[in-house]
A and B are shown apart, each in its own frame.
Chain A
């Protein structure tokens, strides 16, 4: 449809009064401050409890669904595709491939950092194709990291493991030709 120019008449300001960062920093506008005190303790659940236990053992574990024949990783007690219980625990390897990555100059609070964090998704050998987890990459540079790079988990020493995804320090490149 062609314009009928029934837009808001000129001269009427659209609502909203902008405040600047300076006004906030100087305290020149009225405001109220509050810091919430909230703490949580999450139950890891059936699938994740076993997954975390196995991480502490230095192993990665998945669940097999006999209906779709997928090896589901991260593991879950039901297959969301078949909507039925999964059938068995299966160990998978601690090698894989970089599906995607980022070189981050931001920390968790969006603060700038100079030593970048290499992070991405690694698909793990033994799980169904493209199934993997988010994790860090190490022993790489922003020039050497690439999608498709073969990688292997670098584990913390057993006594330092706590049953966490951080029991893997990072994933490092496998030498060329190594599976």
Chain B
């Protein structure tokens, strides 16, 4: 397999509601990524794109609907979809385009416009559940998280205040991100614990918001990196993905086994045996605060049940020994599902190429890992990157 680097990235603002159409959002993110890599669309061999359920936009086949905005015009284009996992999965799909030798330079574009579904995107989340077993109970998407969070907290005896620390850290980190929707420099643990209870144990400030937005990356082969004299390429060192049984009521929700397997796949490729020592920072997927902890454990960055302790001790702060979500995460920047690629793989690129500006981790970093998570709590995608 050929070596693959990320050589450019772009994203739009993340907001509850943006004026731009999906096509326009894709165009803006793609243009920013192309400019950052000093490339034009003629240099792009293929386009890979990702977006979550069509029902948000209300346009089925939305991959084709917004394709023009991604430069998907007289070029090979592929849309991939693994629910929330798409945020890290479409870069993996772009990676295999380049690693296989099929393409030299690939543009990856992820888009989500959740505000089109009015008045709240929650009503279409109802359509992801099993029609026979689950849907007659009129489930709400938050239930998934509430049930998983409760199981995780109870098994490990983790206090809610230790989980709230993740929301506080990420919303504060997001202050330094130009695209952030919910940055808050003054938020406290008490604010999170006093926020409205939606579905206990989930409270309003435990959750990332629905958002509109788009993000883009440019992936290139080692040959292209050399030919283009790229100053700071960031290399894809390992990729992994895995799905568990769709019979989610038959699994113990306290640990994401599928993520541990996806991580092992990526770590084997990246020759990582001791993740905690060999990885300098992480962007675990954080649609809810407890998910960052759950994912740190699934990414094998600590022992089961230990992530809350690392957070409490400040290890995961931007200047800590293992910074997590230095971007501000989904909790602080927003959660336009697939487009969170810009704050996961995008942040790894910006951090490892020294372009993260005010968000830059203050000490030396060489290796980062990120994941995304989707479907009914059973899919995860993982990428390891090195400067």
Which residues of chain A have a CB within 8 Å of any CB of chain B? 1-8, 14-21, 24, 29, 33-34, 36, 40, 42, 44-45, 48, 52, 72-74, 76, 80-81, 99-110, 116, 119-121, 128, 130-136, 142, 147, 164-166
Contact = CB atoms under 8 A, between A and B. Distances in A.
A165 B150 contact: no
A98 B357 CA distance: 48
B339 to A, nearest CB: 11
Contact of B151 (A1, A15, A100, A128): A100
B58 A99 contact: no
B: interface residue count bin: 35 or more
Interface stretch (B40-48, B131-139, B220-228, B292-300): B131-139
Contact of B365 (A1, A19, A106): A1
Contacts of A74: 133, 247, 249
A119 B202 CA distance: 13
Given A16-B25, A165-B133, A166-B137, A104 B142 contact: yes
B214 to A, nearest CB: 9
A20 B15 CA distance: 10
B150 to A, nearest CB: 5
B131 A40 contact: yes
A7 B19 contact: no
A72 to B, nearest CB: 8
Nearest to A45: B132
B253 to A, nearest CB: 6
Interface in B241-288: 245, 247, 249-253
B100 interface: no
B250 A7 contact: no
Given A3-B360, A18-B17, A166 B136 contact: yes
Given A14-B13, A103-B200, A147 B355 contact: no
Nearest to A36: B58
A81 B247 CA distance: 11
B387 to A, nearest CB: 5
Contacts of A21: 16-17
A96 to B, nearest CB: 11
B140 A19 contact: no
Nearest to B365: A1
Contacts of A142: 200
Contact of B136 (A7, A101, A164): A164
B28 A16 contact: yes
Interface string B201-214: 11000000000110
B243 to A, nearest CB: 11
B198 A15 contact: no
A3 B356 contact: yes
B338 interface: no
B232 interface: yes
B155 to A, nearest CB: 8
B28 A15 contact: yes
A42 B154 contact: no
B129 to A, nearest CB: 9
A18 B251 CA distance: 41
Contacts of B137: 119, 134-136, 165-166
B143 interface: yes
Contact of A133 (B11, B133, B138, B245): B133
Contacts of A104: 140, 142-143, 146, 198-200
Contacts of A17: 18-20
A17 B14 CA distance: 10
Nearest to A100: B151
Contacts of A3: 354-357, 360
B133 A44 contact: no
Contacts of B14: 16
Interface string B106-126: 000000000100101011001
A116 B250 CA distance: 25
Interface string B2-22: 000000000111111111100
Nearest to B13: A16
